Amino acid sequence: MYVPKESQPKKGGTAAKAQDGEKGGKRRIVAQNKKARHDYAIIDTYEAGLVLTGTEVKSLRQGRTSLADGFVQIDRGEAWLHNAHIPEYAQGTWTNHSARRKRKLLLHREEIDKLESKSQETGHTIVPLAVYFKDGRAKAEIALARGKKEYDKRQTLREQQDRRESDRAIAAAKRKQRGQ
C-alpha cells in the first residue's frame, strides 16, 4: 500500500533533521572577526559556503586563520572573500595554496543580488564575521554592515560596560541573598 511522504512518521536523529530540510548542526568556530563588530553596525548576516582547496581545509582544521583585514566583494554576480589569511599547511607540498588568495563564497542568487544592491549605498560594506565548520563543511558568516563613527563606538563600549556592571551587581545580590 502506498503512503504519501507527508503522512509517514518522521524519523528521529540528526540525519532525519538534515533530510527534512531543517537547518541545524553543530558549529565549530575556527576564527572570528571581533574588530568588525566593533567598527561596524551589523545590519544583516548571511551564512555562505567557502570554496577551498585541500590544504586550506587542513590548515583551517588546525584552527589557523585571520579575518582581520578581510572583506567581501561582489564581482560579476559572484561573491568573493578577499584578504582572509589562511596560512600554508605545514605538511603541504607543491600543492600548497597562497595565504591571501581570494576565495569564492557560495550564496543564493537572491542573497547576492540583495548584497550587491545594498553595498552600492553610501557607507555600506560586506565584512566576514566568522569562519567555522558546520556538518563538516567550511562556512563563513558574512554581514552587511555600516561603518560606525567614533562616538558610536564609545557609546557601544559604554553600554557594554553598564550591562556588565549591572550583571555583577545582580550576581552579588543573589550571592548575598543565598548566604543569609
Say whether pTM exceeds 0.85: no
**Between residues 79 and 150, which one has the greater pLDDT?**
79
Q: List pLDDT tens digits, range 22-50.
A: 456 787 888 888 888 878 888 888 898 88
Query: What percent of the chain stands above pLDDT 90?
Result: 5
pLDDT at 16 over 50: no
The 3-state secondary structure of the chain, one letter per residue: CCCCHHHCCCCCCHHHHHHCCCCCCCEEEEEECHHHHHHEEEEEEEEEEECCCHHHHHHHHCCCCECCCCEEEEECCEEEEECCECCCCCCCCCCCCCCCCCEEEECCHHHHHHHHHHHCCCCEEEEEEEEEEECCEEEEEEEEEEECCHHHHHHHHHHHHHHHHHHHHHHHHHHHHHHC
